[in-house]
Structure 1
Amino acid sequence: MLSVVVEHIFLLVLVTLVSVLQNAFFATKVEREGKEHHNNTSAFERVSCANRNCMDSYPTFLAVMWCAGLCLNQAPAAFAGLVYLVARQKYFVGYMGQTSQSTPGYLFGKRVLSFLFLMCIVGIFNLLLVRYFGNDFKDTVETITTAASALLLIP
């Protein structure tokens, strides 16, 4: 029984663990910058602000990724989660340079979160259709979302 449950959330767990490692990397960067420049330089402020911004959006990311994975399909949700982590890394690194360099990562991450949110809505709507009308479009929707997740890679 446990192996069946783990099989249905395995990819989501992996992406969550990778995101935890990324958070540790961000925290290490902030700590290192603080020690090198004594917390009062613009470089420390940029790194610290980038870290705070990433942490502010982190609960939203986890919620929509897990909801999309559980209500619809874990594979495209996990793929979108990985793409979001890449976008977040791009945002963080861009913010360490000039603030304007972080805009592409921010916009890309926002698009991925929108896709995950849409997956949640579709998954919940399909569950309601099954419960109240007996119609199950999950296979069709899974096919569409799997194909659509590849579109996330288009800049």
Structure 2
Amino acid sequence: MDYIVVEHIFLLVLVTLFSVLQNAFFAQKVEKECTSQNVKASALERVSCANRNCMDSYPTFLAVMWCAGLCLNQAPAAFAGIIYLVARQKYFIGYMGQTCQSTPGFQFGKRILFFLFLMCIVGIANFLLVRYASSDYKEYVETITSAASALLLIP
């Protein structure tokens, strides 16, 4: 693989690998709950449901993170990806307690996915402007996106 290509996707690859490790952690939690001696049906159901919910949103997360990173800028997309993984961890841990404790992680994760989706749309719009109107706003948009990604830390 060409070094130039790897340089443009390296951060996205790292976040993807961290997300795979997180999925393995979630699966291990479900397995541990299944093999526990004092199996409580409610605890097993909550852990299984949290894992299922995280897996349902996982393809969407990967798609928008990679599209945002490739179409616009990998650094803010990877940063948003790391923050999303933290929000997903908060959601999973909160779901293992009471279901209402998972709501902040769920809302935070939705906001990050929306940010990544907007990055995709802006990147595609900029590509179309370059292609058909010969106007390139990528540097301005990258600056705004990098600054806006820091706002994701506000709960």
Fold similarity call, TM over 0.5:
yes
Q: Deviations over 1:54-83 (max 9, x none)?
A: 000000000000000000000000000000
CA RMSD of aligned residues (A): 1.1
Structure 2: segments with no counterpart, 5+ residues:
none
Q: TM-score, normalised by structure 1?
A: 0.98
Runs of 4+ residues deviating >3 angstroms: 37-40
The Cα of 1:38 is off from its aligned counterpart by 7.4
**Pairs within 5 Å for 1:8-27:** 8-27=8-27
Say whether 1:35 aligns with 2:66: no
**Pairs within 5 Å for 1:89-100:** 89-100=89-100
**Pairs within 5 Å for 1:39-78:** 41-78=41-78
The Cα of 1:131 is off from its aligned counterpart by 0.3
Q: Deviations over 1:131-150 (max 9, x none)?
A: 00000000000000000000
The residue that corresponds to 1:153 in the other structure is 153
The residue that corresponds to 1:111 in the other structure is 111
The Cα of 1:37 is off from its aligned counterpart by 5.2
Identity among equivalent positions (%) equals 79
Structure 1: distance between partners of 2:85 and 2:51: 13
SS of structure 2 residue aligned to 1:114? helix
Indicate how the Cα distance of structure 1 residues 40 and 132 shifts in structure 2: closer, same or farther if over 3 A, else same.
Answer: same
Q: TM-score, normalised by structure 2?
A: 0.98
Indicate how the Cα distance of structure 1 residues 114 and 143 shifts in structure 2: closer, same or farther if over 3 A, else same.
Answer: same
| Contact kept? 1:47, 1:96, Cα under 8 Å | yes
Structure 2: distance between partners of 1:111 and 1:38: 38
